[in-house]
A and B are shown apart, each in its own frame.
Chain A
Amino acid sequence: MPDEPTWRRSLGRCLTAFRQVVGMPDYDRYVRHLRLAHPGRPIPSEREFFELYLKARYGEGPTRCC
């Protein structure tokens, strides 16, 4: 979206960075990845992705420390 104002794009970038630091799911990134790497594969809904993501993140092993 080239006509998006700069401040919105920087805000978006800040939010993405924040999400990644905290370890939150990022649906947009996932959709972009699927379109790029596996075109033709069905794209799960945001809610399905959320559950897949949590499974991968908290499924096994410690994620936190003392």
Chain B
Amino acid sequence: MRILIWILVALAGAVGWGMLALSRGEPISAAWLVLAAVGTYLIGYRYYSRFIADRIFGLTNRRATPAERLNNGRDFVPTSRWILFGHHFAAISGAGPLVGPVLAAQFGYLPGTIWIVFGVVLAGAVQDFVILIGSMRRNGKSLGQMAKEEIGPFTGVAAMLAIFAIMVILLAVLALVIVNALRGSPWGLFTIACTIPIAFLMGFWMRSWRPGRTGEATVLGIALLFGGLVGGQLVAASPVLAPWFTWAPLTLSGALIAYGFVASVLPVWMLLAPRDYLSTFMKVGTVVLLAVAVIWEHPLLRLPAITRFVDGTGPVFAGKLFPFAFITIACGAISGFHALVSSGTTPKLVRQEQDARLIGYGGMLMESFVAVMAMCAAAVLDPGIYFAINAPLGSLGGTAQSAADVIRTWGFTVTPEAIDQLAHTVGEATLLGRTGGAPSLAVGMATLFSGAFGERLIALWYHFAIMFEALFILTTIDAGTRVGRFMLQELLGHVWAPLGRTSWYPSVALASLAVALGWGYFLIQGVLDPLGGINSLWPLFGISNQLLAAVALCVGTTLIIKAGKARYAWVTLAPLAWLLAITLTASYQKIFSPVRRIGFLADAQAIAADVAAGVTDPARGARLIFNDRLNAAMAAIFVVVVLAVVAASIPTWVRVAAGRKVAPPVEAPMVESAYAG
């Protein structure tokens, strides 16, 4: 009977993929996409994750977890597995799985979907799961600590440096996504600005007025948040107030940098914790809503399965399908960042060892499903509209007419009236050239939601979607700046001890400022970039995130080999090899490609030629050239760090596998669990 059900699941998935494969030409329903994805996830979960759990690590509920042994009622707490699944999912999912697929939709919906679904089953979920198991069996050690103890001190430092550099790029690119969504948008800006006083109010509520009443504070916060959403419409309609909230990109960037700095030095309870509660709640709620809307409506996908831009000439970002589709969709298929969460809060909460399968592997499947839905939301848009929103202003020209003309040369028809009409319907002055994925995702989501829950509210749904994205990006910005500060202080502490003290105020302020200005520099660079900063920064972020995943897979491989299961090391080695292939190709092209839109150095050369010809102002040219070289250097640093980690790992693998080196078990000793049996 069981077997029959699994055969049916497999058949359902196969039918889904079959429909996707056979429907060239005419638009098909999103339902097939969802069916194909879910069928594949279920098969992967049932067979592959069980193989990893049983054959490689021998997960057993008889072994007590750190949550049971070290239970302190605070951070080590045995937690029911479905609750922890929700918690872990909320912690790993953010803007990445939503934005990446929307950008990659320029290749059509099919290539991205294939990578999201198969990438997660064979690579992303494997990484999260293996690191979760490793950390869980080591009392919740972090990725950096495991790299140091299992491979070597050098690898530990390299991992830490990599994490810091990635954080800087991540914060810059996410901030750029917000800037592009909120520039010249009084409604959006007002709603987002409201979240700051709301968070303060919640902070004081749960600390001073009604200590510990976090639930009350959150309900209040959510109510006020919706008030801010509705209020934004009134602000945008008011001729007096609207100019106050209509900001230029540079002003917005300055404000975001200042916000990141201030938020990271304020006490956690005042801003970070309340924001975190709000955004987690909104995230889980909206993802559920989106799933309901996609399944209920199963709309037609109007974007072609594959577009002509697989040849590398795409307007959203430059570069061919291989490798750029695979680094643009970072988080939905595999994300190195998750290794930090899987070796952070989550391993300290797992109640029984076998729960780790649902939490680690299953949580990542859920994230991939979010990415599939984001892809659906982008693909329900009219292709012409999709490109009008996502191509940089530089290539579209400033008016709906010029944009429609340019888009026609790409082979998609859209009328200028349709572009203007859509902007008007969602309550914005213009949607042209709003790169970064968030606005087109918001239009897609608003289309789905208003279809499922009420046509007339489309403007409200659009701004709801923008708020939902901006809310958790801002949370990432203040949490990220704070974490960057801890890391920088730890590094600086080696130079001069007082700088490492996290309670010494001057050091805290100095380190926070340095981190905020660090990502702020890349943000401003992106805002000033004539090609639109997403084109240069998002690939850089994708490369760094995938390279962190490569570091995590190196650690995972070491764990497997040290456990005496070298014959199964391909489980992590195969994804590692694939990641190295795509990231090294992508970095090489980003640095050395002769095509100006792809290669940083080629762009620097072209600008130098423009300056010499008198087309570009020399001071501006010098700055653009410096930025190009800086980006090339960042890409080079990522590559060097990762190759060093791989090079340092291989000798350990070979020696342990050949039996020449005895691998001391660093796992915490086995203690019988009281929960078993």
Contacts from A to B (Cβ < 8 Å): 15, 17-25, 27, 29-30, 32-34, 37, 45-47, 49-58, 60-66
- Which residues of chain B are near A19, meaning CB under 8 Å? 214-215
Given contacts A17-B83, A61-B483, A65-B91, A37 and B71 within 8 Å (CB-CB): yes
| Least distance between B83 CB and chain A CB atoms (Å) | 5
Question: Does chain A have a CB within 8 A of B280?
Answer: yes
Q: Are A62 and B87 in contact (CB under 8 A)?
A: no
Bound state CA distance, A49 and B479, in angstroms? 21
A64 to B268, CA, bound (A): 14
Nearest-Cβ distance from residue B656 to partner chain A, whole angstroms: 28
A30 contacts B74, C-beta separation under 8 Å: yes
Residue of B nearest to A21 (CB): B86
B268 CB, nearest partner CB in chain A, Å: 5
Cα distance, A23 to B142, chains bound together (Å)? 19
**CB < 8 Å: which of B77, B79, B331, B344 contacts A62?**
B344
Bound together, the chains give a CA A32 to CA B35 distance in angstroms of 45
CA distance A46 to B211 in the complex (A): 6
List B contacts of A17 (CB < 8 A). 80, 83
CB–CB B215/A24 < 8 A? yes
Q: What residues of A have a CB within 8 angstroms of the CB of B272 in the complex?
A: 58
Given the known interface contacts A19-B215, A21-B83, the answer about A58 and B482 at a Cβ–Cβ threshold of 8 Å is yes
Stretch at the interface among B303-311, B335-343, B403-411: B335-343
Q: Name B92's closest neighbour in chain A (CB-CB).
A: A65
Q: Is the CB of A18 within 8 A of B212?
A: no
| A43 CB to nearest chain B CB (Å) | 11
Q: Are B486 and A60 in contact (CB under 8 A)?
A: yes
Residues of chain A lying within 8 A (CB to CB) of residue B587: none
Instruction: Evaluate whether A62 and B83 lie within 8 angstroms (CB atoms) in the complex, with A23-B345, A57-B345 already known.
Output: no
The interface residues of chain B lying within 8 Å CB-to-CB of A54 are 268-269, 273
Q: Are A33 and B479 in contact (CB under 8 A)?
A: no
Partner of A63, one of B269, B345, B541: B345
Q: Look across to chain A and name the residue whose beta carbon is closest to the beta carbon of B79.
A: A20
A20 B87 Cβ-Cβ under 8 A: yes
Residues of B within 8 A of A15 (CB): 215
Given A30-B74, A58-B268, A65-B215 contact (CB < 8 Å)? no
- Complex: chain A residue closest to B343, CB-CB: A61
- With CB as the reference atom, state the residue of chain A lying closest to B142: A61
Query: Which residues in B have their C-beta under 8 angstroms from that of A61?
Result: 142, 340, 344, 483, 486
Q: Which residue of B lies closest to A48 (CB)?
A: B211
- In the complex, B631 has a CB within 8 A of chain A: no
Q: Which of B93-101, B458-466, B598-606 contacts A (4 or more CB under 8 A)?
A: B93-101
In the complex, what residues of A have CB within 8 A of residue B476's CB?
A: 64-66
B483 partner residues in chain A, CB cutoff 8 A: 61-62
Query: Which one of B91, B212, B341, B545 contacts A50 once the chains associate, using CB atoms below 8 Å?
Result: B212
**Across-interface contacts of A47 in B (CB, < 8 A):** 207, 211-212
Q: A46-B211, A66-B95 are in contact. Are A56 and B74 (CB under 8 A)?
A: yes
Known contacts A50-B269, A65-B337, A66-B95; A23/B75 CB under 8 A: no
Q: Is B212 in contact with A65, judged by CB distance below 8 angstroms?
A: no
Assuming A23-B276, A56-B75, is B91 touching A63 (CB within 8 A)?
yes
Number of interface residues of B (CB under 8 A): 58
Provide a sorted-by-A list of 6 A–B residue pairs whose CB atoms are within 8 angstroms: A20-B79, A23-B87, A30-B73, A50-B211, A62-B480, A66-B335
If A22-B277, A50-B212 touch, whether A29 touches B174 (CB-CB below 8 Å) is: no
Give complex CA distance A30, B72 in Å: 8
Known: A24-B214, A54-B269, A58-B273. A34 touches B95 (CB 8 A): no
Choose one: A22, A37, A62; the contact of B218 (CB below 8 Å): A22
Chain A residues near B90 (CB-CB < 8 A): 21-23
B170 (CB) vs chain A CBs: closest residue: A66
Query: When A and B form their complex, which 4 residue pairs have the shortest distance between CB atoms, in order from nearest?
Result: A33-B73, A66-B96, A21-B86, A30-B73
Q: Of all chain A residues, which has the CB nearest B75?
A: A56
Interface 0/1 of B395-422, CB less than 8 Å to A: 0000000000000000000000000000
Interface centre among A24, A53, A58, A62 (most CB of B within 10 A): A62
Give the distance in Å from the alpha carbon of A22 to the alpha carbon of B281 in the complex: 7
Q: Which of B218, B269, B273, B545 contacts A66 (CB 8 A)?
A: B545
> Measured between alpha carbons, how far is A16 from B480 in the docked complex, in Å?
28
Contacts A23-B345, A30-B73, A46-B211 known; list 4 others, CB within 8 Å: A37-B73, A58-B272, A63-B345, A65-B340
Tell me if B471 counts as interface (CB < 8 A to partner A): no
Nearest A residue to B144 via CB reads A61
What residues of B have a CB within 8 angstroms of the CB of A63 in the complex?
91, 276, 341, 344-345, 479
Residues from chain B with Cβ under 8 Å of A53 in the complex: 74-75
Identify which of A21, A33, A60, A65 contacts B87 (C-beta below 8 A): A21
Residues of A within 8 A of B636 (CB): none
Picked from A18, A33, A51, the residue with its CB within 8 Å of the CB of B71 is: A33
Give the complex CA separation of A62 and B335 in angstroms.
14
A56–B348 alpha-carbon span in the complex (Å): 11
- Residue ID in chain A nearest B476 by CB atoms: A64
- Bound Cα distance from A33 to B75, whole angstroms: 12
Give every chain A residue within 8 A of B211 (Cβ-Cβ). Answer: 45-47, 50
Which residue of chain A lies nearest to B475 when distances are taken between CB atoms in the complex? A64
* Smallest CB gap from B484: residue in A: A62
List residues of chain A with CB within 8 A of the CB of B340.
61-62, 65
Chain B residue nearest in CB terms to A55: B268
Is B206 part of the contact surface with A, judged by Cβ < 8 Å?
A: yes
CB of A63 to closest CB in B, whole Å: 6
Contact of A64 among B86, B94, B269 (CB under 8 A): B94
Interface centre among B211, B340, B486, B541 (most CB of A within 10 A): B211
Whether the Cβ atoms of A34 and B214 lie closer than 8 Å is no
Q: Mark B538-549, 1 if CB is under 8 A from A, else 0.
A: 000100010000
- How distant is B282 from chain A, measured CB to nearest CB, in Å? 10
B330 interfacial contact with A, CB 8 Å: yes
Measured in the bound complex, the distance between the Cα atoms of B174 and A24 in whole Å is 25
Q: Which residue on chain A has the smallest CB distance to residue B541? A: A66
Is there an interface contact between A50 and B74, defined as CB atoms closer than 8 Å? no
- A24-B214, A34-B73 given; A64·B545 CB < 8 A: no
Which residues of chain B are within 8 angstroms of A34 by Cβ–Cβ distance? 73
Q: Which one of B71, B212, B475 lies within 8 Å of A27 (CB-CB)?
A: B212
- A27-B212, A33-B73 are contacts. A64–B87 as well, Cβ < 8 Å? no
B284: interface (CB < 8 Å): yes
State how many angstroms separate the Cβ of A40 from the closest Cβ of chain B. 16
* A62 and B479 in contact, given A27-B212, A46-B212 (Cβ under 8 angstroms): yes
Residues from chain A with a CB closer than 8 A to the CB of B545 are 66
Q: Which residues of A contact B330 (CB under 8 A)?
A: 66
Chain B's nearest CB lies how many Å from the CB of A17? 5
